Structure 1
Amino acid sequence: MNAHPLAPIPDADVDAFWRDGVICLRGLFDADWIEHMRAAVEDDLAHPGPLAREYATQAGQRFLGDIGAWAVKPGLRKYVEESPAAEIAARMLRSRKVNFLYDQLFVKEPGTAAVTPWHQDGPYWPVQGDQILSIWLALDDVTVQSSGVEYIKGSHRWGREFRPIHFGGDTEAYKMLPGETLPDIDAIRREPGSGGLEIVNWDMKAGDCLLHHSMTVHGAPGNASSTQRRRAYATRWTGDDVVYAPRNGQASITIDKPTIQPGEPIDCAVFPRLWPRPQDSSLA
């Protein structure tokens, strides 16, 4: 399995990420990584981690979100520590160092109507800074019909923070957190000219990845396909300017508690620095 991206990431792609808040990159992970991750996903589906959540409410449907499972799942940990993801994040963030924030496994089985509501990632997380992104690795071919993620281009630069929305519909879950109520994006997009919003998505092959900024507004429809699974593994990465900034009312994103104090860089065992790779490590 490749330790470094299979192709260089050009400056134009880095510029596009910072301009648009999202980009799709292809061909950076080899087939062995995809097969490895599919096996890790099946293990997790059979034995979810302690922070796993089931978001589908209709019988016979499944939308699993497993949070922080890399800490207890060796197959997921291998990807976090040994895949090209940390190097990709460093390149895209233009950062000297990269810390791993946490992971989130998403599985929407065929015919699962549950949507991923429009949201920003940043308000859910106990960190502050601009150099924060997600790498959403597709483990199946994905289209909007099978719940491909949609993004509002440039929304990371709106200068607005929206209160988190619970994926399972619990309206009380984040009521203590600050932020505006997110507008009804689906209603706005039905207006002439999509209400001025530029919504983008990509048809993806297994192994393609989406990189999005923590403040980019995004969401996904249900999986309307009767045959196509939608398995994806999202890892969250931070750069030089990020500090620990927990808020009352945030849900746990890690199994263990960090040992750092608010305002400190997030270097600790819970949020390990994974780039540059240690020269004395087997990952070097």
Structure 2
Amino acid sequence: MNDPTRAVTDAELETYDRDGVVVLRDICPLDWVDEFRVVLDGVFNRETDVGREGLVTGASRAGSRVDVAERVRQMMENHDVSTLATEPNRVPVGRNIVETDACSWHAGLRDMHVNGPLPPIVAALTRSERVNLYSDQLFMKEPGSSVRTPWHQDKPYWLLQGTKVAVCWVPVDEVTMESGVMGYVAGSHRWGKVFKPNDFVTLKGTFKLPGLSFDGLDELPAIDDHPEDFDIRRYEAGPGDVIVHHWMTLHGSLGNTSADRLRRAASVRFAGEDVTFYKRASSPEPFRNTVGLQDGDDLDGAERFPRVWPR
């Protein structure tokens, strides 16, 4: 077991409740971060034929993998560049790997989520007696990849219902404004709106996949067009830090425009005690048709979602 190096403070808990996001400095043991970095590199640099099939059919049991930089480069020939998810006037170079649901097939990664410092952190912030692991997403932005992660909200993507869903963003490198810092719209978790999911290759587009429905979802506000209208927080972070946000909080990241700085991080998603399974019509999760749960079922009913707290 790897416990946090310290407890979540009352001030941090208050910040999370108020803003929907909190930065927890120096809370993860650095030896755990070192091991985590090695595991992430093993996922990013492996030979693979895993593609987007899971997102298209919903039948995948092995997650999905996309080089977003490559997709954006391909789209530049036939699309208005200003609509694509890249920093202005930049052509992405290198890789921008997004690996979804790797913990479903990588036992070592799954063990680090289950037995590492994150479960007690989530239990404290969500005031939950019970916490389950939901899924993960891994990110590698190589120097110059410059692909932004557009503003989005996690709720429409996930097969969950409830209020105590928390996301731990765990960097294993020093993340700066130039290398792809994370940004959040403070307080947006209290707006009471669920927004259409972004497709992550355009700044404002959504998925065009069979079987999905976005009926009743709200249009995302024009945050980049009118940033002065929103309380935007951008947080530089590094090894040992964790940024935790509520799943209703709008967030995104800048592209890696640095010349030599690699930016690797993991988004690890947890469900607190009031959360149940819900086959959300807007969710493109790669495992949406393979879980075996019904709406309203506890997550304990699926091996995919192990209980991680209490230990």
Shorter-chain TM-score above 0.5:
yes
Per the alignment, residue 129 of structure 1 pairs with 162
Q: Contact (CA 8 Å) 2:197, 2:282: kept in 1 or not?
A: no
Superposed, 1:113-124 pairs within 5 Å as 113-124=146-157
Per the alignment, residue 276 of structure 1 pairs with 310
Q: Contact (CA 8 Å) 1:67, 1:254: kept in 2 or not?
A: no
Please report how far the alpha carbon of residue 255 of structure 1 lies from its aligned counterpart in structure 2 after TM superposition. 8.7
What CA distance in whole angstroms lies between the structure 1 residues aligned with 2:7 and 2:112?
A: 19
In structure 2, do the counterparts of structure 1 residues 11 and 171 end up closer, same or farther at CA, with 3 Å as the change threshold? Answer: closer
User: What is the identity, as a one-letter code, of the residue corresponding to 1:64?
Assistant: I
User: What is the identity, as a one-letter code, of the residue corresponding to 2:243?
Assistant: L
- Once the two structures are superposed, residues 202-233 of structure 1 have per-residue CA deviations (whole angstroms, 9 ceiling, x without a partner) of 22122211000000001111111111111001
Per the alignment, residue 182 of structure 1 pairs with 220
What CA distance in whole angstroms lies between the structure 2 residues aligned with 1:79 and 1:208?
A: 16
- Number of paired residues? 271
Per the alignment, residue 89 of structure 2 pairs with none
Per the alignment, residue 208 of structure 2 pairs with 173
User: What is the identity, as a one-letter code, of the residue corresponding to 2:213?
Assistant: M
Q: Aligned pair 1:53/2:66, yes or no? A: yes
Unaligned runs of at least 5 residues, structure 2: 51-61, 74-91
Please report how far the alpha carbon of residue 172 of structure 1 lies from its aligned counterpart in structure 2 after TM superposition. 4.1
Q: Contact (CA 8 Å) 2:27, 2:240: kept in 1 or not?
A: yes
Please report how far the alpha carbon of residue 52 of structure 1 lies from its aligned counterpart in structure 2 after TM superposition. 1.3
TM-score, normalised by the number of residues in structure 1? 0.90
User: What is the identity, as a one-letter code, of the residue corresponding to 2:224?
Assistant: D
- Once the two structures are superposed, residues 65-96 of structure 1 have per-residue CA deviations (whole angstroms, 9 ceiling, x without a partner) of 11111122133122112101111111111001
Q: Aligned pair 1:4/2:3, yes or no? A: yes
What CA distance in whole angstroms lies between the structure 1 residues aligned with 2:124 and 2:24?
A: 13
Per the alignment, residue 281 of structure 1 pairs with none
Q: Contact (CA 8 Å) 1:113, 1:222: kept in 2 or not?
A: yes
What CA distance in whole angstroms lies between the structure 2 residues aligned with 1:164 and 1:85?
A: 26
C-alpha RMSD over aligned residues: 1.8
Further displaced range: 250-259 or 46-55: 250-259
TM-score, normalised by the number of residues in structure 2? 0.82
Per the alignment, residue 282 of structure 1 pairs with none
Q: Contact (CA 8 Å) 1:142, 1:206: kept in 2 or not?
A: no
Q: Aligned pair 1:161/2:199, yes or no? A: no
Superposed, 1:79-98 pairs within 5 Å as 79-98=112-131
Please report how far the alpha carbon of residue 60 of structure 1 lies from its aligned counterpart in structure 2 after TM superposition. 3.5
What CA distance in whole angstroms lies between the structure 2 residues aligned with 1:213 and 1:38?
A: 24
Q: Aligned pair 1:228/2:261, yes or no? A: yes
Unaligned runs of at least 5 residues, structure 1: 278-284
Identity %: 34
Please report how far the alpha carbon of residue 256 of structure 1 lies from its aligned counterpart in structure 2 after TM superposition. 8.2
Per the alignment, residue 292 of structure 2 pairs with 259
Per the alignment, residue 19 of structure 1 pairs with 18
Q: Contact (CA 8 Å) 2:143, 2:262: kept in 1 or not?
A: yes
Q: Contact (CA 8 Å) 2:152, 2:252: kept in 1 or not?
A: yes
